[in-house]
Structure 1
């Protein structure tokens, strides 16, 4: 078992000066960063991945290394609330930055074979919103409301595996919600917002259970805590509060970001509700446009929902509804 009882009391000085090399993570960051840049440059001027997306991906890699090499990870095995800060950063903040970098598109744009690979059935299943949502929920609940924390406290491989699982599950979940990769069908933005709401459920469940506990949920993990730390129950309750507020708050911020992105982009607005609901709306507007004419009903889809004709038909429908009341 890892003994962190000798760690000095956490203050700003200790927080800023506690670092470890973490060579495995450093190597992974260098390989991923170099590979991303190499593939992006291989596409040349034809690449659709803009500079700000490249910066986002590299920032995500940098932040990932910082959190595992700094005091956040250094004190994560001594303080449950710091462990939660590590978790939330690895499963939400880092993946969001990586997803905005469009790594799948970067790979696909290197050539036809790469594009076919990114559109293959295994990749399609892996990046499907249902897969990401399920994996995210299982990781959040499984690592907090089971005996995993105590097992992880006694095993370095499990500790590293947990951190990798957080990044991967967060990446897959956010790829289906905030990602706009061109290698897979886009989920309507209304569905994306709904998935973010669903993502709040495991965060809320774990947060409430930890926040309301009156016993030490992780006795083995807590056995390595230093004397100056909060008592185990208060520490876990604080961590639960962070999970509830940070997890749900993060999902809300992402949802607000999606709404802003949709409102500010005509192209995204056309993808707000999906083909089925857009088809229903177009058919209804076609019917309204045909009222009072001798030409008969218009063909579904023949009326542009954003045209002046559609607006006139919508206003006429509202006027009739007002007269009926």
Structure 2
């Protein structure tokens, strides 16, 4: 690997699916994926030992989210993504849109709040501060309120495309391993804070209604489509890092850029549909729960009225005797 010029260059054979999926771990993301699975598994086991239930669907969703990160960062896709714009765009779209959705469906914050022990009080009666209390403090902090507000998440979500790829910043970050890791971590973080209030699975400072969540979702998605179309319609390479791909790949830079644009455009639709289905499902079950509560309240009121009527009849009979 040669660190120089506009980015990191390497000689690789032409891309195939087998080479793209070959095991090629990035130590940073591999450690992060393993740690996430271990901590999540610890939380689930702790709840089960305590006799509490935890949905298998949530566990599967979280595991798939971690697996999707490992797929794009711990395989040959990460190697080819350094020299092929199209493969890099697959990495970007998966780690910023697919992985966050799956991770959030796993409700990791809810799991942590249920699994972590309450710190309790010390001998003087003062409340202790443990991991659970720190997590609650973070959730209620002004910082989290700001970074999860639509006025912040939507502009950052958009800027991660236009402000990064159409400026020298992308080439600068791609010029070093730490820069590339920082960029991919940023994509994941932006996806998490963007979809967190929209998904509404974990507790958070912003919990808009379902209609507002859908509006927030569709406020950001069209910009992905426009970004993809801009790449597809360009008549010249727009990102210097991928302007001169290695000859060993046997690809044309402009054709590869057009493919990257098509991938970005397609990914503006697929996650939107997934999130929309999840929101409709949540909305339906919320209405069902509300209806059940209303029915129970009506039953209690009806029982009370019946008891009062029976008491009234009994009083009439007593007076008659």
Q: TM-score, normalised by structure 2?
A: 0.75
Residue 40 of structure 1 and its aligned partner are, at CA, apart by: 4.4
| Paired position in structure 2 for 1:74 | 79
SS of residue matched to 1:20: coil
The one of 23, 30, 37 aligned to 1:19? 23
The one of 143, 147, 163 aligned to 2:168? 147
Pair 1:251-2:272 in alignment: yes
| Paired position in structure 2 for 1:165 | 186
| Deviates most, 195-204 or 131-140 | 131-140
SS of residue matched to 2:247: coil
Question: Relative to 1, partners in 2 of residues 1:173 and 1:229: Cα closer, same or farther, differing over 3 Å?
Answer: farther
Alignment partners' CA distance in 2, 1:269 and 1:216: 54
Question: Relative to 1, partners in 2 of residues 1:160 and 1:168: Cα closer, same or farther, differing over 3 Å?
Answer: same
CA RMSD in angstroms comes to 2.7
| Paired position in structure 2 for 1:108 | 113
1:117-148 per-position Cα deviation (integer Å, ceiling 9, x unaligned)? 42333333333344332322221222222223
Question: Relative to 1, partners in 2 of residues 1:183 and 1:207: Cα closer, same or farther, differing over 3 Å?
Answer: closer
Q: Is the 8 A contact 2:97 2:271 kept in 1?
A: yes
Task: Structure 1 unaligned segments of length 5 or more: list them.
Answer: 271-302, 308-325
Residue 224 of structure 1 and its aligned partner are, at CA, apart by: 4.1
Alignment partners' CA distance in 2, 1:13 and 1:107: 37
Alignment partners' CA distance in 2, 1:94 and 1:40: 20
Pair 1:99-2:104 in alignment: yes
The aligned runs of 1:162-201 (5 Å cut-off) are 162-201=183-222
Q: Is the 8 A contact 1:262 1:269 kept in 2?
A: no
The one of 59, 80, 90 aligned to 2:95? 90
| Deviates most, 197-206 or 78-87 | 197-206
Q: List structure 1 runs of 4+ shifted beyond 6 angstroms.
A: none
Alignment partners' CA distance in 2, 1:126 and 1:46: 36
Q: Is the 8 A contact 1:150 1:221 kept in 2?
A: no
Q: TM-score, normalised by structure 1?
A: 0.74
Aligned residues: 271
Alignment partners' CA distance in 1, 2:26 and 2:219: 34
Task: Structure 2 unaligned segments of length 5 or more: list them.
Answer: 119-131, 299-321
Alignment partners' CA distance in 2, 1:222 and 1:62: 31
Alignment partners' CA distance in 1, 2:285 and 2:222: 29
Pair 1:3-2:9 in alignment: yes
Give 1 or 2 for the bigger CA radius of gyration.
2
